[in-house]
Amino acid sequence: MHPSSCDTFVALPPSTEGPRIIFGKNSDRPCDEVQEVVYFSARDYAGAGEKVECTYIEIEQVAHTHAIVLSKPAWLWGAEMGANEHQVCIGNEAVWGKESADGDEALLGMDFVRLGLERADTAEKAVDVITELLEKYGQGGSCMEDQGSFTYHNSFLISDRKEAWLLETSGKYWAAERVEGGYRNISNQYGITTKIDKEHPNMREYARSKGWWDGKAEFNFATVYSFATTARIEASGSRYCEGKKLLEKSNGHISAETMMDILRDKDSGINMEGMFMSTGSMVSVIPQDPTRPGVHYFTATPDPERSVFKPFIFVNHINELKTTTSPSYGPDDPVKKKPRFQSKPDRKHELFVKHELVAAIIDSYEDRGKKIVESMRQLEKEKMTEMEEIISHGIKEPDFLVNLFSKSVQEEMAAYSKS
């Protein structure tokens, strides 16, 4: 069975309740992989000559990077999903098509997610950042810590306070579509058809040269660059259709709770189980009013059905998110050594360890497990009520939010022991 992964969603007015954008994503990864939630403050750099070490390669650093919060596989530099202080949100998906995804180590799709958040203050600028880096450095490298052959192209769903963008890549070629209203979801297949708002200047000519397009028919990116059919496409197509139905069901009333329910849905396959499973989840609520804060909820634990979505808000002087940050091995990390993939160090952060224990109880003891899940849901509901007050009336005392996410993690772990 080939691994397939991830679903990303965005809803904009008039599909949402009120003038806000709702972004959501499940990160579906190997079941033994740890996903951490980490924060990096904004930073200025000296200038020419500075480098940033991504997962496999070094690239040129920029003069300024924005504050970011990420949900990321603990072994690599990039991220599956995240947001920045300007309320840009990005999630990526694996996609496969006619162009081979096998290539030299370059930037991973997850590296592009982090770089887009660090360097762009709008969704459209994130598209430009990612495509410029794609042109300069390329995409490639294994996307699993212990499997050298798992490679893919990438698609991205990117949103900000006013709109969303879908960006799809095939090698160095790409197409992008602006989404200004309604809802959109993506899975592991190309979804841009004939509405293309930005594109690689040679994307159409390359397809014509390969015999994928005759140069006369209306250009449909998904049709031209996709396989006709594969098991991967059929599986992701099913999840895509089910996700679209779930969005349509709440159209006009899509809220953070709606998005969390979609990410928790197991019948659709969106909440994935098995060797490849939902190892982390994110939901963001972004008011279109620039004076109102965005709230970003992360689980930092597998299976959103038995996890708590915990809030994060960008304010000054946020402390390190220690309880969801995995151990660091620096230059001794096996990923940084040659040959790679020989051993996997323990990357479990504190919340992951405690969640692993309570998940075993939920699976083994029906009554006690039910009480634990009820306690977790109650905590989540209380936090969401508090966040709605902040979204509606603004931040009155920012210092109280410095430890918002970390405090919520502590309350979650306390809920485990009470039940």
Catalytic status, residue 54: no
pLDDT single digits (tens) 307-362: 999 999 999 999 999 999 999 888 778 776 655 556 788 999 999 999 999 999 99
Count CB-CB contacts under 10 A for residue 175.
Answer: 27
Which residue in this structure is represented by tokens 């952060």?
349
Tokens of 95: 């996609």
What's this model's pTM, rounded to 2 decimal places?
0.95
Q: pLDDT value at position 342?
A: 60
The answer to whether residue 233 scores a pLDDT higher than 70 is no
Count CB-CB contacts under 10 A for residue 284.
Answer: 28
pLDDT interval class at 149 (50, 70, 90):
confident
Among 10-24, 68-82, 231-245, 378-392, which stretch is predicted with the lowest mean pLDDT?
231-245
Backbone angles phi, psi at 372, to 5 degrees: -65, -45
Which residue in this structure is represented by tokens 């599909």?
15
The DSSP result for 293-308, as a single string, is PPEEEE--SS-GGGS-
pLDDT interval class at 1 (50, 70, 90):
very low
| Annotated domain spans of the chain | 7-418
Class of domain 7-418: alpha beta
Identify whether the C-beta of residue 62 lies closer than 8 Å to the C-beta of residue 135.
no
Count CB-CB contacts under 10 A for residue 377.
Answer: 13
pLDDT single digits (tens) 21-49: 999 999 999 999 999 999 999 999 987 78
Among 6, 54, 89, 143, the one annotated catalytic: 6
Identify whether the C-beta of residue 247 lies closer than 8 Å to the C-beta of residue 15.
yes
Q: Give helix then strand counts, H and E, for the chain.
A: 9, 18
Tokens of 16: 């949402």
pLDDT higher for 237 or 171? 171
Identify whether the C-beta of residue 286 lies closer than 8 Å to the C-beta of residue 23.
yes
Over residues 355-380, the mean pLDDT reads 93
- CA 390: distance to chain centroid? 24
- Calculate the dihedral angle through the C-alpha atoms of 165, 168, 172, 175, rounding to the nearest 10 degrees: -60
Nearest CA among 327, 323, 306 for reference residue 403: 323
The DSSP result for 76-119, as a single string, is SSS-SEEEETT--EEEEEEE--SS-----S-B-HHHHHHHHHHH
